[in-house]
A and B are shown apart, each in its own frame.
Chain A
Amino acid sequence: ELKVEQNPLFLSMQEGKNYTIYCNYSTTSDRLYWYRQDPGKSLESLFVLLSNGAVKQEGRLMASLDTKARLSTLHITAAVHDLSATYFCAVLPTSGTYKYIFGTGTRLKVLA
């Protein structure tokens, strides 16, 4: 069964601190996506990672992909309250199916 696991599931952190969210997946894939969801809202695309070693940064968020380890990370630098949300990773398997497999989500709360 294809699985995408994120950890931690919940993360409470102080403003100004750094932390990393991990996304492990069980299938071969060369495309990984990160999304953000605010409470009661839809999903907003953050990053698309296409190849091994890909790194993308936007503001205080940086995402990377290691296809050999089947691992992606979302690193938060100097967290601010506005980053509080649920973050999802999603994998598109290389089997040719256009079927995202979503991770469990990480609920991030940044405390002032």
Chain B
Amino acid sequence: KAGVTQTPRYLIKTRGQQVTLSCSPISGHRSVSWYQQTPGQGLQFLFEYFSETQRNKGNFPGRFSGRQFSNSRSEMNVSTLELGDSALYLCASAQGALYEQYFGPGTRLTVT
């Protein structure tokens, strides 16, 4: 089975711009979660989608949004970028009772 894929892998944006990140889960997985990883804050949960519905949300401002499509692919959008949004954004997919999350390679976003 192919793993979780994320595109793009690297991104450089300017403050005030917006960005869209994409995640394709493992085939058959309906749950997709997004995380932000920074050296100072560690791994922080952004949101989780299941069957096109946002099921859980972390404590991030409304500038961070996401969606999931009928094929379980998910996108995350950050509007009005700030320098503090520079981070590694990780997507993970899961399925079944174990709910073991499998992570993608991440998108490294740099905001200048």
> Which residues B73-100 have CB closer than 8 A to chain A?
90, 92, 94, 98-100
Q: Point out the residue from B42, B45, B100 that lies within 8 Å of A99, measured CB to CB.
A: B45
Tell me the dominant secondary structure on chain A's binding face. Answer: strand
Tell me the dominant secondary structure on chain B's binding face. Answer: strand
Measured CA separation A99–B58 after assembly (Å): 8
Expressed in whole angstroms, the minimum distance between the Cβ of B25 and any Cβ of chain A is 14
Number of interface residues of B (CB under 8 A): 24
Interface string of A91-103 (1 = CB under 8 A from B): 0100001111110
The answer on a CB contact under 8 Å between A98 and B43 is no
Shortest Cβ distance from A31 into B: residue: B99
The answer on a CB contact under 8 Å between A98 and B31 is yes
The answer to the question of B101 belonging to the interface, with a C-beta cut-off of 8 Å to chain A, is yes
Measured CA separation A48–B55 after assembly (Å): 22
Measured CA separation A88–B94 after assembly (Å): 18
- Of B35, B103, B104, B105, which is in contact with the most chain A CB atoms at under 10 Å from its CB? B103
The answer on a CB contact under 8 Å between B103 and A97 is no
The answer on a CB contact under 8 Å between B98 and A42 is no
Measured between beta carbons, the chain A residues less than 8 angstroms from B31 are: 98
The answer on a CB contact under 8 Å between A102 and B100 is no
Measured between beta carbons, the chain A residues less than 8 angstroms from B35 are: 102
